[in-house]
């Protein structure tokens, strides 16, 4: 099939019956976050500077990259009072919407708390796992055009629900511009401190600690290539969440959803940025055509028309498949961040959905509802990483410790087995340590 | 206090009352896995070669680094029959010990399976999370002196319990030497294929796939600096577990445990390699002295005396603290991989243990029992990373998908909130997508 514009809309048209379908799909899905040697070198320099010179290096880098003129970290620090002021200063509608979203997100995440467990064996040996929260978490919030209050809620609330002792947020303020909604969200989400710093210098400050910024145990939140490179570099020193790629949606439609709704759902993904990806799959030709027409018609009315247009023409696609079975195979192959099952009986599809960050079920469940306030997290695995990773959750801010308590009898029995295996590995101190606990 | 030898034993002696205690403890715990530019460059070259030339590059690298003369991947592949043969060929005692260990590890890990859950709100909206296993997991098993059958069980069994579709194991065979116990463990643990390859080339093969090696979704298992560097590089392309540092134990003793037992427990950690770390903490001076004397006495009887001696003198320590409270503070500060609570009432300590990979409770619970057969995993967070990470577990081989199914009524209510928030973020396609679902 061709990529011919549909009434002014440029978007790839694929069919699973095309001979080159696999190759075209591969090309469409290909994404590699480019971190060249130059970026790595610059990030390494910043990390080293912050590690050795602390606050001074953070202030210098912030002044330079965010065009500020701060003389110390105190000027780049916001306390809880400032966050509360931001919340109280919002128009009522925004204040209420933010509070509603926070409450729903909190409630959903309460369901995610893993429990400490243990069991006792016949000989009295106790085995289990103890779950504890992190002492301190760092939330990276991008500045500028991608400063989203909803992201503050989605990153900080799971940490709060997990029982994290202290939540530290960093958000750059290019040219000194503060986003009041972001600060208000931080207030609602239980953030303890905010530092108005960003980039690799903020990641370094959180990972190593400075005179002012406390060292955290894990850093979460999206950022540009410098932030992603810095996070990858400090991984191990601290925990990190996934390195996020561009946002994507895969809509599977059975033809029964209003084409205008679906067009707007695809736009909502495409408007994020030029790299965002919107794909629609259906086995209904006329329906695909109707959605394409609606997109062409509605596109000129969009505020972010230019971004949407680029995103759709460079990374979007309408894919015709043969039937429901092929749609299932496709969605598992793509492992999308967002999967909209715009079909009559989405529950029936679930057992076959192996890989997806979030599943939006049915015609009413627009992804946008999940982005803001349905409850589940909007920080989701991108670029096919739903094959092996999960939405950000309470479990990301907790960790487990194995518990092993052997009774005298249990130690004696286990000691015999351990001794044989340890000697098989030529680890005789292991063997003798176990043998000391054998009776008789 | 001094580092004076105690009867031929060199080991650091620290006291929390020393004025330089904090600095000395920092120095003792400092560990940085060195991956210099040269290593990174060589790893990058190998990754690129395998990505572009597949099997041929893997065979070349294996011949070169493991001193083999394979002409194709078939010669580096072992099927299930070969694994079963290895198991059946073991002496009975080893076969039974391995089977006992495998059964206990499997049983423990069955308790770790997270469940799919959902709840329905008053307006019919359904929210939840669906848990699914990975399609394919890759297990890296080191070759040479660190080829441990117990590690095969500990890495592969959680994947098996998780329901992973296919488990692929790689293990280098330097100079062509196969370890029958390792193959036998693979048989017991449900490994599907074994490739006798290692190093960065094995990581690359698993991450990208080749003509012969299937691409996996996650790579777990320890390796040398080339393996660790390669894993860090492919992280994002595939999932990885933690980058492991040297193994460590922290024993806290109340003075009531036989000094000979504790000396051997400390040796069992130290015998792993020269970088391993064994630390004993107690508030009982005479007891610390008794353990030191026992170590000096028993050391000459150890097969791995030289390794233990180096490890203890370079990274070991006997630490005197004031009381139980200081011991708790220390253990949380150190966040050890293995924590032996060799005390009268270890359960009473648990609520205060915030950070530890595994807790071995009471005088009978030698770490060696947990290393082999108690049930919990022996792949644990090292170098203080227990602050933010967990033992390898079933949860590492599963992932979650958020579920959101809005009723018409629910979508209408949520749409109002989402619309306000989306417009606050200037994302009008998001707002309009939500507004389409508002009634009236």
Strand partners, B139: B169, B220
Window 387-426 of A, Cβ < 8 Å to B: 387-391, 393, 395, 399-408, 410-411, 414-418, 420-422, 424-426
pLDDT at A344 over 70: yes
Residues of B in contact with A407 (CB under 8 A): 364
Structure confidence at residue B37 (pLDDT): 80
Residue at a domain's end among B212, B240, B268? B240
Closest-CA residue to A82 (of A195, A158, A226, A159):
A195
* Distance separating alpha carbons of residues A255 and A281, to the nearest angstrom: 10
What's the angle, vertex CA A403, arms to CA A400 and CA A407, rounded to 5?
175
- Let me know whether A160 and A67 are in one domain: yes
Within a domain: residue A376?
yes
- The crossing angle, in degrees rounded to 10, of helices B80-88 and B180-188 is 110
Q: Provide the pLDDT confidence category of residue B101 given band limits of 50, 70 and 90.
A: very high
Structure confidence at residue A321 (pLDDT): 98
pLDDT at B32 over 90: no
Please say whether the beta carbons of B392 and B162 come within 8 A. no
Closest-CA residue to A340 (of A322, A367, A315, A316):
A367
- The crossing angle, in degrees rounded to 10, of helices A149-162 and A92-110 is 40
Structure confidence at residue B120 (pLDDT): 97
* Distance separating alpha carbons of residues B321 and B327, to the nearest angstrom: 6
- Let me know whether A215 and A94 are in one domain: yes
Structure confidence at residue B243 (pLDDT): 79
Query: Three-state DSSP class for B2?
Result: coil
Mean pLDDT, range A273-290, rounded to an integer: 97
Is A337 among the catalytic positions?
yes
- Let me know whether B81 and B181 are in one domain: yes
- Let me know whether B63 and B84 are in one domain: yes
Q: Which helix (H) or strand (E) holds A193?
A: strand A193-195
Structure confidence at residue B35 (pLDDT): 64
- Let me know whether A338 and A412 are in one domain: no
- Let me know whether B42 and B175 are in one domain: yes
Q: What is the pLDDT of residues A237-270, one digit of tens each?
A: 899 998 788 999 999 999 999 999 999 999 999 9
Give the sheet arrangement for strand A193-195, strand by strand. A77-78, A193-195, A166-170, A136-140, A218-220, A239-240
Within a domain: residue B122?
no
Window 20-79 of A, Cβ < 8 Å to B: 33
Structure confidence at residue B7 (pLDDT): 52
Structure confidence at residue B242 (pLDDT): 82
- Let me know whether B68 and B209 are in one domain: yes
Residue B74: burial class (beta carbons within 10 Å; 0-12, 13-18, 19+): exposed
Q: What is the pLDDT of residues B126-149, one digit of tens each?
A: 999 999 999 999 999 988 766 789
Q: What is the pLDDT of residues A81-113, one digit of tens each?
A: 999 999 999 999 999 999 999 999 999 999 999
- Let me know whether A378 and A309 are in one domain: yes
Backbone Cα Rg of chain B? 25
pLDDT at A45 over 80: yes
Window 227-286 of B, Cβ < 8 Å to A: 232, 235-236, 238-239, 242-243, 258, 260-261, 264-265, 267-268, 270-272
pLDDT at A122 over 70: yes
* Contact call for A401 and B356, based on CB within 8 A: yes
* Distance separating alpha carbons of residues B237 and B139, to the nearest angstrom: 16
* Distance separating alpha carbons of residues A90 and A315, to the nearest angstrom: 37
Closest-CA residue to B184 (of B264, B98, B120, B113):
B98
Q: What is the pLDDT of residues A384-418, one digit of tens each?
A: 999 999 999 999 999 999 999 999 999 999 999 99
- Let me know whether B267 and B161 are in one domain: no
Closest-CA residue to A196 (of A79, A314, A22):
A79
User: Can you list the positions of beta strands (E) in B134-258?
Assistant: 136-140, 166-170, 193-195, 218-220, 239-240, 248-253
Window 163-182 of A, Cβ < 8 Å to B: 181
Structure confidence at residue A34 (pLDDT): 62
Within a domain: residue B299?
yes
Structure confidence at residue A33 (pLDDT): 64
Residue B8: burial class (beta carbons within 10 Å; 0-12, 13-18, 19+): exposed
Please say whether the beta carbons of A427 and B367 come within 8 A. no
* Distance separating alpha carbons of residues B103 and B374, to the nearest angstrom: 10
Strand partners, A166: A136
Residue at a domain's end among A189, A205, A240? A240
Q: Confirm whether residue A269 is marked as ligand binding.
A: yes
Within a domain: residue B180?
yes
Within a domain: residue B126?
no
**Mutation target vs A (from B362, B411, B421, B435; most A CBs, 10 A cutoff):** B421
Q: Report chain A's mean pLDDT, rounded to a whole number.
A: 94
* Distance separating alpha carbons of residues A214 and A223, to the nearest angstrom: 20
Query: Three-state DSSP class for A164?
Result: coil
- Let me know whether B159 and B255 are in one domain: no
Structure confidence at residue B303 (pLDDT): 95
pLDDT at A8 over 80: no
Mean pLDDT, range B347-364, rounded to an integer: 97
Q: Which domain holds residue B317?
A: 6-30+245-387
Q: Provide the pLDDT confidence category of residue A35 given band limits of 50, 70 and 90.
A: low
Q: Provide the pLDDT confidence category of residue A316 given band limits of 50, 70 and 90.
A: very high
* Contact call for B430 and A308, based on CB within 8 A: no
Give the sheet arrangement for strand B218-220, strand by strand. B77-78, B193-195, B166-170, B136-140, B218-220, B239-240
Dihedral sign of CA atoms A241, A245, A246, A247 in order:
negative
Mean pLDDT, range B354-379, rounded to an integer: 96
pLDDT at A362 over 50: yes
The helices-and-strands tally (H runs, E runs) of chain B is 17, 15
pLDDT at A3 over 60: no
| Diameter over CA atoms, chain A | 88
pLDDT at A1 over 50: no
Residues of A in contact with B108 (CB under 8 A): 127
Please say whether the beta carbons of B210 and B175 come within 8 A. no
In percent, how much of chain A has pLDDT > 70?
Answer: 97
Closest-CA residue to B287 (of B252, B312, B313, B316):
B252
Structure confidence at residue A387 (pLDDT): 96
User: Can you list the positions of beta strands (E) in B308-416?
Assistant: 317-320, 338-342, 358-361, 398-405
* Residues across chain B: 440
Q: Provide the pLDDT confidence category of residue A419 given band limits of 50, 70 and 90.
A: very high
Within a domain: residue B190?
yes
* Distance separating alpha carbons of residues A369 and A366, to the nearest angstrom: 6
**Mutation target vs B (from A236, A345, A408; most B CBs, 10 A cutoff):** A236
| Diameter over CA atoms, chain B | 88
pLDDT at B4 over 50: no
Q: What is the pLDDT of residues B159-205, one digit of tens each?
A: 999 999 999 999 999 999 999 999 999 999 999 999 999 999 999 99
pLDDT at A2 over 80: no
More confident position, B63 or A37: B63
Within a domain: residue B395?
no
Cβ neighbours for B114, distance < 8 A, ≥ 6 positions apart: A114, B131, B394, B395, B398, B400
Domain count of chain B?
Answer: 3
Within a domain: residue B118?
no
Residue at a domain's end among B175, B207, B240? B240
pLDDT at A345 over 90: yes
* Distance separating alpha carbons of residues A210 and A58, to the nearest angstrom: 9
pLDDT at A4 over 50: no
Q: What is the pLDDT of residues B402-428, one digit of tens each?
A: 999 999 999 999 999 999 999 988 899
Lowest mean pLDDT among A36-50, A247-261, A276-290, A301-315: A36-50
Chain B: residue whose CA lies nearest to A151: B425
Look up the ipTM and state it: 0.94
* Contact call for B268 and A430, based on CB within 8 A: yes
How far apart, in Å, do the first and last CA atoms of chain B sit?
A: 80
Q: What is the pLDDT of residues B241-289, one digit of tens each?
A: 987 889 999 999 999 999 999 999 999 999 999 999 999 999 999 999 9
pLDDT at B1 over 50: no
- Let me know whether B25 and B70 are in one domain: no
Closest-CA residue to A316 (of A1, A34, A14, A21):
A14
Catalytic: which of A160, A187, A248, A337?
A337
Cβ-based neighbour number of residue B333 at 10 Å? 16
Chain A: residue whose CA lies nearest to B237: A385
Query: The CATH number of the domain where A232 resides is what?
Result: 3.40.50.1980
* DSSP of A356-416: -SEEEESTT--HHHHHHTSSS-S----TTGGGT-----GGGGEEEEEEEE--HHHHHHHHH
Dihedral sign of CA atoms B50, B55, B59, B60 in order:
negative
Strand partners, B403: A359, B128
- Let me know whether A20 and A162 are in one domain: no
Strand partners, B359: A403, B339
Q: What is the dihedral of CA B172, B178, B184, B187, to 10 degrees?
A: 50
């Amino acid at each position: 099939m061709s990529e011919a514009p549909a009434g002014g809309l440029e978007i790839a048209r694929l069919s699973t019956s095309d001979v080159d379908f696999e190759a075209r799909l591969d090309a469409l899905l290909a994404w590699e976050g480019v971190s060249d040697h130059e970026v790595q070198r610059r990030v390494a320099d910043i990390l080293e500077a912050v590690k050795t010179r602390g606050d001074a290096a953070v202030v210098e880098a912030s002044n330079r990259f965010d065009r500020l003129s701060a003389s110390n970290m105190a000027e780049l620090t916001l306390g809880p009072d400032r966050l509360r002021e931001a919340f109280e200063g919002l128009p009522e509608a925004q204040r209420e919407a933010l509070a509603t979203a926070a409450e729903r997100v909190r409630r959903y995440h309460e369901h995610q708390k893993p429990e400490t467990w243990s069991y006792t064996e016949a000989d009295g040996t106790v085995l289990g796992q103890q779950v504890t929260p992190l002492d301190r978490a760092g939330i990276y919030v991008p500045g500028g055009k991608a400063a989203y209050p909803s992201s503050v809620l989605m990153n900080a609330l799971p940490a709060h629900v997990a029982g994290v002792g202290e939540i530290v947020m960093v958000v750059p303020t290019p040219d000194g511009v503060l986003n009041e909604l972001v600060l208000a969200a931080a207030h609602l989400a239980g953030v303890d401190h905010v530092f108005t710093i960003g980039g690799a210098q903020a990641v370094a400050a959180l990972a190593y600690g400075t005179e002012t910024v406390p060292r955290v145990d894990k850093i979460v939140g999206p950022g540009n290539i410098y932030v992603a490179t810095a996070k990858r570099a400090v991984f191990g020193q601290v925990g990190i969440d996934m390195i996020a790629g561009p946002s994507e949606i895969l809509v599977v439609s059975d033809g029964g959803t209003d084409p205008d709704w679906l067009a707007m759902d695809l736009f909502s993904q495409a408007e994020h940025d030029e790299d965002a990806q919107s794909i629609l799959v259906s086995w209904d030709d006329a329906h695909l055509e109707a959605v394409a027409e609606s997109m062409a018609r509605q596109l000129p009315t969009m505020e972010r028309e230019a971004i949407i247009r680029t995103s759709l023409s460079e990374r979007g696609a309408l894919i015709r498949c043969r039937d429901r079975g092929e749609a299932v195979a496709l969605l598992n192959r793509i492992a999308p961040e967002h999967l909209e099952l715009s079909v009559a009986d989405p529950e029936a599809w679930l057992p076959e959905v192996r890989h997806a960050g979030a599943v939006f079920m049915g015609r009413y469940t627009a992804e946008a509802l999940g982005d803001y306030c349905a409850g589940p997290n909007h920080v989701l695995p991108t670029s096919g990483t739903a094959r092996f990773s999960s939405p950000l959750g309470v479990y990301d801010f907790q960790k487990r410790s194995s518990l092993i308590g052997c009774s005298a009898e249990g130690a004696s029995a286990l000691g015999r087995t351990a001794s044989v295996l340890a000697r098989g590995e030529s680890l005789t101190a292991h063997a003798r340590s176990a043998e000391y606990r054998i009776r008789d």
